[in-house]
Amino acid sequence: MPENLTPQPWWVAVIGGLLFTIRWLIGFGASSAKATIDSQREDLDRLNARVDRLEEAEKENLAIIQELRAENAELRKMLNRTLSIPDGGPVASVSR
C-alpha cells in the first residue's frame, strides 16, 4: 500500500466525527418530526371537536327551522282566513 494511503489515526477521528454528525442530524430530524406529528395531532383533535360542536349546532338550527316553518304555515293559514272574511272584517281595507 502506498505511504499516502496508509490509514492514519486522524482518519478515524474524521470518519467518527462525520458518522456522529450524521447520526445526530438524523436524531434531530426524527425528534423534530415527532414534535410536528404531536402538534398536528393536537390540532386535528381540536378541529374534530370544533366540527362536532358545529354539527350539533347545525342539528339544533335545523330543528328550529322546522319549527319556524310549521309556525309560518299556521300563521299563513290564519292570515288567509282573516283576509277572506267578507266585507266589514278587521282587515277588509287591506289590498292585495
Q: Is the pTM of this model over 0.85?
A: no
Q: What is the DSSP string of the chain?
A: --GGGS--HHHHHHHHHHHHHHHHHHHHHHHHHHHHHHHHHHHHHHHHHHHHHHHHHHHHHHHHHHHHHHHHHHHHHHHHHHHTS-TT-TTTT---
- What is the rounded average pLDDT of the residues 8-24? 87
pLDDT at 91 over 80: no
- pLDDT 10s digits, 45-61: 999 999 999 999 999 99
Mean pLDDT in the chain? 86
pLDDT-derived band at 86, boundaries 50, 70, 90: low
